[in-house]
Structure 1
Amino acid sequence: MGQQDSELKYLKAKTRVEKLKAFYTHLTVYFVINSVITTVKMMNNLNNEETYDEAFFDFSTVASWLVWGVGLALHAFSVFGLPLILGDDWEARKIEQYMNDELEQHKSNK
């Protein structure tokens, strides 16, 4: 059982690292893309003779930050918040439950 525990711990750690990597990638893309969108919109607004404040605080300029930010916050919650609420071992308990269910189902089908 020791090697199986070791493999399960490895898979759990690998999954956690993949989730973190996906979140950090999402965060990076969020900042890069929204910075480009904001720059383009502000340049457009400034070319239309708006002041810097009018161009920057225009709702269409910050809308993508806000809307996408909600999605990013939900992603962050799923990576960081959910384990705090459900506990660190929740994932392992669920995996064990599903494996046991599958084993019992397999036994009953024979």
Structure 2
Amino acid sequence: MYNTPHPLPPGDALEALARKRAGAKLGWFLHALVYAAVITGLTLLSLHQGRGWAIFPAAGWGAGLLIHGLAVWLVPPGGSLWQRLLERERAALQRR
């Protein structure tokens, strides 16, 4: 049911890890860019209406962006926590 990949040669494993990390960081940058664009639009709309409601979506989405950033920048693929979770999943799949 599950395909467990064969271990890659050291150079290939390093390349795969580098691509995964770069992809995660690019995903966060895109998330931040969309956040900035949408929140700017909502803020302008909120100010045009003479109200301050834009703070609520900015705070909620900002918290999500912060959590996403922490996951990308502090717990990178290949980090010790990530590596331990990956090893647990491999062991669980091999037991099946």
TM-score (norm 1): 0.65
Residues in 2 aligned to 1:103 and 1:41: alpha-carbon distance in whole angstroms:
51
- Counterpart residue number, 2:60: 67
Asked which structure has the greater CA Rg, the reply is 1
Aligned to 2:3: none
Change (3 A) 1:103 1:32: closer
Q: How far is the alpha carbon of 1:41 from its aligned partner?
A: 1.2
- Point out where structure 2 has 5 or more consecutive residues left out of the alignment: 1-7
Alignment of structure 1 residues 1-110 onto 2, 5 Å: 4-45=9-50, 55=51, 58=52, 60-83=53-76, 88-92=79-83, 95=86, 98=90, 101=91, 105=95
Aligned mates of 1:94, 1:5 — CA distance in 2: 20
Whose RCO is larger (CA < 8 A, sep 6+)?
Answer: 2
Equivalent pairs: percent with the same residue?
Answer: 20
Q: How many residues align?
A: 87
TM-score scaled to structure 2, two decimals? Answer: 0.73
